[in-house]
Amino acid sequence: MYYYFYGGLYQPPFMNNGPNAAMDYWSRSLFQRLQALIDFEGLPEGSAEAAPDGPVIQYAWDKDAFKFGLFMLGYQIIFRSKTYGVVPQPGTLSGFGLQYQPAGAIVNTPYFQFSRPLKLGLEAELIKLTPDYFGVYDIITKYAAELKEIDTSIKSAARNSRLAYALVASSDKSARTLQAVREKVINGDDVIIDEKIMKDKANPDSLPWYQFDRDVKNSYLLGDLLDARRTTLVDFYREIGVRMLDDKKERMLTAEVDAGKAETFIRSEVWIETLKESCKKVNAMFGLNIVPKLNQPDIPGGGEEVMSDVRE
């Protein structure tokens, strides 16, 4: 629902209920997996402290909304307001400094409309995910599109494996009957009895349809497609920096395991280091203690040889 409350800064990709439903599913699924990779400690909690001019209000940060904006937009603009305390907001970057880095931030949301850009380093700071100020939704789109195509092929292969014939009917009536029988087969009926199919008054000795047999065993692709989906998911995990063991069935040497870890190290390390550096600036400016951390699943191993058949 965050798409509708950010002034059009986020392009809503999850809007289809028709043929692109698989794309929507994988987009949301992969985005949630990506969000689980990085967590934050020390985000401001709601409070009201006494001050000479009255209570100082600090509204609590919504972690889900904060992480959503961070991964989608690539950064969050942090500044102090009189009404809400230190807040994160979406916005656009403006100007450039000596090294062509952004110098200002334009915030125009339902709660804040500033007449000029906020000066970064003086009035506001950024918590950013990537060094180039972009989000990581391009990763989601790439792998969601691939998984959508594989899912479509899986469904087609599953249907085709149930009925391995091309049927040619002698009349519309026979075609409708055959279509009804086909639907029963696809729906899982193990026995279908239909007297009409067996009768042809013009030629009682023949059936009113012809069949073309297909070699189901040699054209059965469902297992390969399921492996392709798993491989694509493993590639996605490695892309975002989740350590994954190789798909080899035999034992792996420690050097091979270490090489697999290095393969996934770079991108996640860039993200976490960028977050640490930007959070350090935000903490210094506003007296906060926000700490990003990288979540990694436990991977079995530790000896000279490890088994590699645990894939996800």
Domain boundaries, the chain: 1-161+228-312, 162-219
The CA–CA distances, whole Å, from 41 to 37, 45, 166, 279 equal 14, 11, 61, 11
What is the reported pLDDT for 224?
Answer: 83
For residue 165, with 0-12 CB atoms within 10 Å meaning exposed, 13-18 middle and 19 or more buried, which class applies?
Answer: middle
Q: What pTM was computed for the model?
A: 0.70
Residue 262 has pLDDT above 70, yes or no: no
The CATH architecture one would assign to domain 1-161+228-312 is: Beta Barrel (2.40)
Bridge partners (DSSP) listed for residue 57: 48
pLDDT tens-place string over residues 274-306:
999 999 999 999 999 999 998 876 655 443 443
Cβ(66)–Cβ(88) below 8 Å: yes
Alpha helices in the chain (DSSP H): 21-35, 63-73, 137-160, 172-186, 222-240, 254-286
Please choose, from the candidates 171, 162, 208, the residue with its C-alpha nearest in 3D space to the C-alpha of residue 189: 162
CA separation for the pair 231, 237 (Å, rounded): 10
pLDDT tens-place string over residues 120-141:
999 999 999 999 999 998 999 9
pLDDT confidence band for 243 (50 / 70 / 90): confident
pLDDT tens-place string over residues 26-77:
999 999 999 888 999 999 987 766 555 555 678 899 999 999 999 999 999 9
Cβ(88)–Cβ(78) below 8 Å: yes
